[in-house]
A and B are shown apart, each in its own frame.
Chain A
Amino acid sequence: MIDKKFIVGIIVFGSLWGFAECIIGSLLRDVNLPAGAIMTGVFAIGLMTLSRTTYGRPGMQTGIGLVAGGLRLFNPFGGCFICSAIAIMAEGLLFDLIWTGFSLDKKTTQILTDQVSLGIISAYLVYVGGYIVTQILTPVFSSAGFYLENLLVFIPQILASGLLAALLGVATVPAVIILKKLHITIQDRLYYPITIGVSAFCWVFVIVNTLFILWL
């Protein structure tokens, strides 16, 4: 039987992540900040950690990444939007694999050192992995084709660029776990109206924003 609450959870978290990528990511790029690392280290890791520790079900973050990447395709501005969409989808899958691999579903670690470590590992591997996947898949889907040597010579830069994401992850995961301790919950009767409303707002805002920019 389809778990509607779970599906709606995927949609709302994916929409929030996609919204952040399209709107906040664009603002960060406009002021020449490292948008990719900030978006992954703060928003992606934050939302995926929150969803994982709330629902505790493997597979959810892959879905969240697909929704967020799908929304990014509706905002064809700010750098290579196809690369961004591919990276976001890959990041969701990688987060899922890392947390499932470490069996972190049932018990979120209570020790601060482990929370910080988890932030570094998740943010770094998700960012670097997403970067590598997009460097492979973007050329594959273009007429130029993929050349392995292009990727290999750029590996040191990719590994270096993940440092900021890892350092942001140091604060993000513990912050989410502290937030969880506040036990903020949505009443059952308000769950669907709020989650569907938030998701709709994110999609409408991004699409209207795109149309507005194209019209200008």
Chain B
Amino acid sequence: MGKDRLLPILALILLFIASSSSLFVYASQTTTDTLLVNGQHYTINQLFSLAKPRMFNDSQYIGIALDDLMLKVGVANPERHTYTFKGSDGYEKTVTWENLQNGLLTKNRESVFPDLPKAFRVKEIVTIGVN
């Protein structure tokens, strides 16, 4: 097949992939008022009443300590696990216990880790999984 024919066909295939992925993402988006943490549902206010507060950068980021939160929700031997934060858009990042010891969860349900790149800021968190 010549290049002149191959280019439009490949372009159409890519547009189909992009469009169908967009429809899939739109259909599978989840919205919930609660967070599933270690298998149990909590509201953000419940989590804030459980764990001790933490702040960074002169109060630029205020929230609750993620390591303390894991202990309060009953995670045993926390250093033996990794922790996966999943947002409502499906974006997820997995971190270690060492990372959690510097991390916080904001009232807007966003994870903040000052020692990790901003790619680890998961927004609108719906699940914190303990692996």
Q: Point out residues on A near B: beta carbons under 8 Å.
A: 79-83, 102-103, 109, 111, 113-114, 116-118, 120-121, 124-125, 134-135, 138-139, 141-145, 147, 149-150, 153-154, 156-157, 159-160, 162-163, 166
Q: Does B74 contact A (CB under 8 A)?
A: no
Question: CB distance B89 to A157 under 8 Å?
Answer: yes
Question: CB distance A160 to B98 under 8 Å?
Answer: no
- Residue among B3, B21, B119 making CB contact with A159, cutoff 8 Å: B21
Residues of B within 8 A of A139 (CB): 93, 119-120
Q: Does B56 contact A (CB under 8 A)?
A: no
Question: CB distance B90 to A154 under 8 Å?
Answer: yes
A157-B91, A160-B21 known; A142-B14 Cβ under 8 A: no
Question: CB distance B18 to A80 under 8 Å?
Answer: no
A149 to B8, CA, bound (A): 33
B11 shortest CB reach to chain A, Å: 4
Question: CB distance A150 to B8 under 8 Å?
Answer: no
Residues of B within 8 A of A135 (CB): 119
Question: CB distance A160 to B25 under 8 Å?
Answer: yes
Question: CB distance B93 to A144 under 8 Å?
Answer: yes
A139-B93, A142-B117, A143-B96 known; A162-B18 Cβ under 8 A: yes
A114-B7, A153-B92, A160-B22 known; A166-B14 Cβ under 8 A: yes
Residues of A within 8 A of B82 (CB): 147
Question: CB distance B17 to A144 under 8 Å?
Answer: no
B63 shortest CB reach to chain A, Å: 18
Q: Does B84 contact A (CB under 8 A)?
A: yes
A79-B118, A82-B117, A118-B7 known; A124-B14 Cβ under 8 A: yes
- Closest 9 pairs (CB-CB, A-B): A80-B118, A159-B21, A163-B18, A117-B11, A117-B7, A160-B21, A120-B11, A160-B22, A147-B94
Question: CB distance B99 to A144 under 8 Å?
Answer: yes
A113 to B28, CA, bound (A): 34
- Residue among A117, A118, A120, A144 making CB contact with B116, cutoff 8 Å: A144
The A-contacting residues of B in range 75-131, CB under 8 angstroms, are 82, 84, 86, 89-96, 98-99, 113, 115-121
Q: Mark B1-13, 1 if CB is under 8 A from A, else 0.
A: 0011001101100
Residue of B nearest to A119 (CB): B11
Residues of A within 8 A of B71 (CB): none
A117 to B11, CA, bound (A): 5
A117-B8, A121-B10 known; A157-B116 Cβ under 8 A: no
